[in-house]
């Protein structure tokens, strides 16, 4: 059993899907958790849904694509938690389209959320972490950052970039006992994958040796490991959690 009762965590995009699973797992391991959602309303709705299931977490509305809102998010999280030991950069979106039809807007929104969002939030968290001489930064990438995927030139580009971001920051901040790792989920059953057609889902299943989509809990398990003392010497790595497809 992983015990994080002395730890605090900020999870971006914790209102649903994988992020919500991560919030639940961290809270159940004893960590004090703050999470963000795109708006205050979605964040508060998630707080209530979690509370109904006996899980206490504090929710804040903030668009991670905005530098100013990300700074305000971290400021509020610090006011609530006192410190941020664990940062999980999970917020992400897709705007899938074949490259020929991909608009400048679809490109920009995905880059701004999935990649610049990680820059924005980490930028605000890193100074307090350096000062505290402790930090566990966990970035949620994707298997498609390594494999590529038709229709996802924008999304896969951001997820490949997450790997470069993770490995570079890991080397910069390790001397202050801060590790930076990534998790690359395969295909996970969430609202994001709900949008796929039955035929697309069937094609996915054929690529997964374990013959099922992953769950948010499968990814949360990796986060718990990377946030725990079991992973104190793990730095700059990409943990692939995908049922064996890559």
Q: Does 63 contact ligand NAD by CB under 6 A?
A: yes
State the CB neighbour count (10 A cutoff) for residue 109: 16
Segment near ligand NAD (CB under 6 A); pick from 2-10, 52-60, 84-92, 124-132 = 84-92
Distance CA 6, CA 17 (A): 26
Q: Is 214 annotated as a binding residue?
A: no
Among 18, 88, 178, 226, binds ligand NAD (CB under 6 A): 18
Residue 41 is labelled as binding a ligand: no
- Tell me how far apart the alpha carbons of residues 164 and 236 are, in angstroms, rounded to a whole number: 9
Say if residue 236 is exposed, middle or buried (CB neighbours under 10 Å; 0-12, 13-18, 19+).
middle
Contact status: 135 vs ligand NAD (CB under 6 A): no
Cβ distance to ligand NAD smaller for residue 2 or 241: 241
User: Is 211 marked as a binding-site residue?
Assistant: no
155 assigned to active site: yes
Candidates 58-66, 79-87, 124-132, 221-229: pick the segment binding ligand NAD (CB under 6 A).
Answer: 58-66
At residue 210, the 3 state secondary structure works out as coil
Closer by beta carbon to ligand NAD, 29 or else 91 = 91
Residue 90 labelled as part of a binding site: yes
Asked if 201 is part of the footprint of ligand NAD (rule: CB under 6 A), the reply reads no
Residue 99 CB, shortest distance to ligand NAD, in Å, is: 19
Query: What are the E-state strand segments in the chain?
Result: 8-11, 32-37, 58-61, 86-89, 135-140, 178-185, 238-241
Least distance to ligand NAD, CB of residue 1, Å: 25
Q: Determine whether the annotation assigns residue 9 to a binding site.
A: no
Helix, strand, coil percentages in the chain from 3-state DSSP, rounded to 5: 50, 15, 30
Contact 81, 34 (CB under 8 A): yes
CB of 177 to ligand NAD, least distance (A): 26
- The one among 57, 64, 125, 169 contacting ligand NAD by CB under 6 A: 64
**46 annotated to a ligand binding site:** no
Q: How far apart are CA 157 and CA 144, in angstroms?
A: 9
**Which runs of E-coded beta strand occur in 38-151?**
58-61, 86-89, 135-140
SS3 84: coil
Q: Known binding site for NADP(+): residues?
A: 13-16, 90, 155-159, 188
Chain positions contacting ligand NAD, by CB under 6 A: 12-19, 36-38, 42, 63-65, 90-93, 113, 117, 140, 142, 185, 187-188, 190-193
């Amino acid at each position: 059993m992983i015990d994080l009762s002395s730890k605090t965590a900020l999870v971006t995009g914790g209102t649903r899907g994988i992020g919500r699973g991560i919030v639940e797992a961290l809270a159940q391991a004893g960590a004090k958790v703050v999470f963000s959602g795109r708006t205050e309303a979605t964040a508060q709705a998630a707080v209530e849904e979690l509370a109904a299931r006996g899980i206490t977490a504090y929710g804040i509305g903030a668009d991670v694509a905005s530098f100013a809102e990300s700074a305000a998010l971290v400021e509020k999280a610090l006011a609530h938690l006192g410190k941020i030991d664990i940062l999980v950069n999970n917020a992400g979106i897709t705007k899938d389209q074949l490259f020929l039809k991909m608009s400048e807007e679809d490109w920009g929104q995905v880059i701004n959320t999935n990649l610049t969002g990680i820059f924005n939030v980490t930028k605000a968290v890193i100074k307090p972490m350096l000062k505290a001489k402790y930090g566990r930064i966990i970035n949620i990438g994707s298997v498609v950052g390594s494999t590529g995927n038709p229709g996802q030139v924008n999304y896969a580009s951001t997820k490949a970039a997450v790997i470069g971001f993770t490995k570079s920051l890991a080397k910069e901040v390790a001397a202050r006992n801060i590790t930076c790792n990534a998790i690359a989920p395969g295909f996970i059953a969430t609202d994001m994958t709900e949008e796929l057609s039955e035929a697309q889902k069937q094609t996915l299943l054929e690529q997964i040796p374990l013959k099922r989509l992953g769950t948010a809990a499968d990814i949360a398990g990796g986060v718990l490991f990377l946030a725990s003392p079991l992973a104190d010497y793990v730095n700059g790595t990409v943990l692939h959690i995908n049922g064996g497809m890559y």
